[in-house]
């Protein structure tokens, strides 16, 4: 996701604020990273038990609060890729 200029660290902190709550809802991995080549880009990589578990997590008050706080700080440019895990470390 692309943030408004200079807002990357603020958005990353907002995304990480509710990360612990996700485990109870089927999140196996939630990693927030920042681009080394673009000061306004954040990458979020998530692994969920199921799509339904992920969808349900979006209704959590913590998730709703983080989304509401982050949205005004984003440009609206998002890249999304869904995959099916077939194995590997941590899968």
User: What percent of the chain clears pLDDT 90, i.e. is strictly above it?
Assistant: 67
pTM for the whole thing? 0.84
- Model confidence at 91, in pLDDT bands (50, 70, 90)? low
Work out the mean pLDDT of the chain and round it to a whole number: 91
Q: Summarize the confidence of residues 6-29 as an average pLDDT.
A: 91
- Model confidence at 13, in pLDDT bands (50, 70, 90)? very high
Residue 80 has pLDDT above 60, yes or no: yes
Q: Summarize the confidence of residues 63-89 as an average pLDDT.
A: 89
Q: How far apart are CA 53 and CA 14, in angstroms?
A: 21
Residue 42 has pLDDT above 60, yes or no: yes
For residue 60, give the H/E element and its range: none
Q: Is 1 helix (H, G, I), strand (E, B) or coil?
A: coil
Report DSSP state, residue 35.
-
43-57: pLDDT as tens digits: 999 999 999 999 999
């Amino acid at each position: 996701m692309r943030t408004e200029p200079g807002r990357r660290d603020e958005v990353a902190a907002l995304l990480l604020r509710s990360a612990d709550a996700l485990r109870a809802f089927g999140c196996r991995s939630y990693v927030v990273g920042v681009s080394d080549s673009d000061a306004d880009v954040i990458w979020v990589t998530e692994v969920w038990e199921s799509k339904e578990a992920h969808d349900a997590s979006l209704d959590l008050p913590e998730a709703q609060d983080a989304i509401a706080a982050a949205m005004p700080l984003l440009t609206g440019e998002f890249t999304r890729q869904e995959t099916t895990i077939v194995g590997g470390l941590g899968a």
